[in-house]
Structure 1
Amino acid sequence: MSERPRALLAMSPEFLPQLFPEPLMQRLAAALDFDPEFIARDFSDPAAKAALNEAEVVISSWGVPMLTDEALAGAPKLKAVLHAAGTVKWMIGKAGWERGLVVSSSSGANALPVAEYTLASILLAGKGIFQLREDFRKERTFTLGYIHPEVGNFGRTIGIVSASKIGRRVLELLRPFDFTVLLHDPYVDEAEAAALGAELVGIDELVARADVVSVHAPDLPETEHLINAERLALMRNGTVVVNTSRGRLVDTDALTDELLNGRLSAVIDVTHPEPLPAHSPLYDLPNVFLTPHVAGSHGNELSRMGLFMVEEAERYVAGEPLLHRVDPETLGRQA
């Protein structure tokens, strides 16, 4: 392309400098022609409608308005959406896919810190750190040289629920460690699971065998309460549940019961409801490590999401295939 394609920024304005700090903004401006001072928040606004009418590319993120049929009708030149955030399910309707829009997202960038959080949780949980910290805080002393027989990461069995983008990154990060890794994913066969470094098993076998069960499945109607009372009951005493996916995948009441009786432990970054009510016992239980939905991109990690889309813009201008293109055929079973 000899001229820079016309583009439009569409997101909540406060995210722009975090996603695209100056060096990235310069690269984006070198690839695309856009007004850095104008950010669309409502495609029915006259100024936004006029800008969308001329745009070939939309650079979007959190707070972007939905590309409704009406909005698309007023965007005859629009060919690509580069979404510097996660899912685009709610943003682009059937008409957009039928039109053949090229859509890319930074969900792969957001998967990285979630996987890192998960790995840290698995390692710390296996070492018994959460309970030992509580004991140390209470007793204010310890016996030097005492060997804690119930902890350790050598030979642990880790169960990964779903080979999603995050699940696959977790599987990759687990490779250097002395773990047996189990995987449940109805869309993966045994050969692919083996290539990912895992043994493919059913969900009930996974929860019964694993020392740590880490949930990475998408939030879909069929995955609601995937980890339910019956599957929690299958877990052996001392099993650790890690949830960095979505709260609805785990039955909160059933998990709370198991945590209250001390049979299981949990590292929980997402809950249902979210946040939990102030009276929830999960805030105070020593066998629960509860965090406020922070496993995903925060702080300087946001610029990696911007970087992914800057690189996609450069590929788009060069006529190269996009690396993070969203496949509408598989979108329905993704996060």
Structure 2
Amino acid sequence: MTDKPIVFVAISPDLIAQTGLERFFPQWEESARVERWQGPANPPADLVAEAAGRAEVMVTGWGTPSLIEPLRGWALETSPLRLVVHTAGSVKFLLPGEALERGLLVSHANDSLAEAVAEFTIGAILGMRRQIFLSAQRYKAHQPAPAYTSMRELPGSVVGIIGASAIGRRVMEWLRPWQVKILLFDPYVSAAQAAQWGAEPVSLLDLCRLSDIVSLHAPITPETVGMLGAEHFSAMKTGALFVNTARGVLVDHAALLAELQTGRFSALLDVTDPTEPLPPDSPFFALENCVLVPHQAGNSLEARLRQGKYAGEDVLAYLEHRSLSHRVPPEKWRTMA
């Protein structure tokens, strides 16, 4: 009788509890030996590297030490590891891309987070355009409400989406019933693909110039770092809205701050750069036209449980020799988050 394959769970006990992942352990144990880090906190790098040398499946997540070096020379012929299931979104910080090209299977729960961030984005757009955040702030301070002329409804607006990512696609889909015009900048998307999402492809500068709302959903790649600068922010309409639920490093924050300080348009920032969270003395906090959120667009009870569900189901699918539902295609590695 052959030994059962090892499934090593390389995340903290807290994250196991938050994602509800433990409910899958009995099903996995029917065909595998499940090992887990007992804590406290996150597993140490040496333990994870050692486990990667003997486990067939590894479950990773926020706080898992990088496997880039331990798996740098990964090959089917020399390693027992066949599948890495990530309970979060981005896996680029965790794994070497060449391992996927050589046949390592990778799955992630990006769709779970995309659903949460897309919903947050819609809420942010509605709240900012109707001045809900500013009205609440002024009401609490016993100050006059914003002028009604600054409160705008969504129907009839032009919404610019930067990046047809998993989040960007959902935002476009969920905006369609609102009777808006959607502009899209994504150099990897054809006009025919954009039309399927009800969007018109345009240049990045034209998107900033023509949109009432600019929503950033691009991944971090060499091409996207610093993609929005002074030229783009100065081109935005007076009264427009900029929403960033992607990554702070995509934006020149000095240029954004300078434009926001003129009061021409408003912004909601879920992410910032070069520091996150911002220091208490950041000039962004002094801006009435800028709402700052501590990187929580992807956080919800439902999202956390979906992360565990997607990961748990893909481990089970592998053990039962079925297709993975959330596999990371090697050909998407370069352009994904």
- TM-score w.r.t. length of structure 1: 0.88
User: Partners in 1 of 2:297 and 2:37 — Cα distance?
Assistant: 31
**Secondary structure of the equivalent of 1:221?**
coil
| Number of the residue aligned with 2:33 | 33
Q: Which amino acid aligns with 1:291?
A: V
Gaps of 5+ in 2: none
The one-letter code sitting in structure 2 at the alignment partner of 1:180 is K
Gaps (5+ residues) in structure 1? none
Match of 1:159 in 2: 160
Contact 2:86 2:107 in 1 (8 A): yes
Structure 2 CA distance for partners of 1:70 and 1:256, relative to 1, 3 Å = closer
How many residues end up aligned between the 2 structures?
A: 330
Q: Which amino acid aligns with 2:107?
A: S
Equivalent AA in structure 2 for residue 263 of structure 1? R
- Among the aligned pairs, what percent are the same residue? 37
2:106 alignment counterpart: 103
The residue aligned with 1:184 is 185
1:95 to partner: Cα distance: 5.2
- Map of 2:329 onto structure 1: 327
CA distance in 1, matches of 2:271, 2:150: 31
Question: In structure 2, what is the Cα distance between the partners aligned to 1:17 and 1:319?
Answer: 27
Listed as ranges, the matches of 1:125-274 within 5 Å are: 125-139=128-142, 148=149, 150-273=151-274, 274=276
In the alignment, what sits opposite 2:18? 18
Aligned amino acid, residue 116 of structure 2: P
Distance 1:151 1:99, change over 3 A: closer
Provide the rounded CA distance (Å) in 1 between the counterparts of 2:18 and 2:150: 46
What letter is aligned with 1:327? P
Q: Which moved more, 1:26-35 or 1:217-226?
A: 26-35
> 2:270 and 2:81 mapped to 1: Cα distance?
37
TM-score (norm. length: structure 2): 0.88
2:83 maps to 1:83: no
Contact residue 27 and residue 310 of structure 1 kept, 8 A: no
Separation of aligned partners in 2, 1:21 and 1:243: 30
Corresponding residue for 2:287?
Answer: 285
Cα 1:70/1:245, change in 2 over 3 Å: closer
Which residue of 1 is the match for residue 62 of structure 2? Answer: 62
Range that drifts further, 310-319 or 65-74: 65-74
Pair 1:257–1:321, CA change in 2 (3 A): same
Query: What displacement does 1:129 show?
Result: 2.2
Question: How much does 1:53 deviate?
Answer: 4.2
Q: Which runs of 4+ in 1 moved over 6 A?
A: none
Residue aligned with 2:223, SS: helix
Q: Cα deviation per residue 1:59-100 (whole Å; 9 max; x = unaligned)?
A: 111222333554558973211111111211122225522441
Distance in 2, matches of 1:92 and 1:149, equals: 47
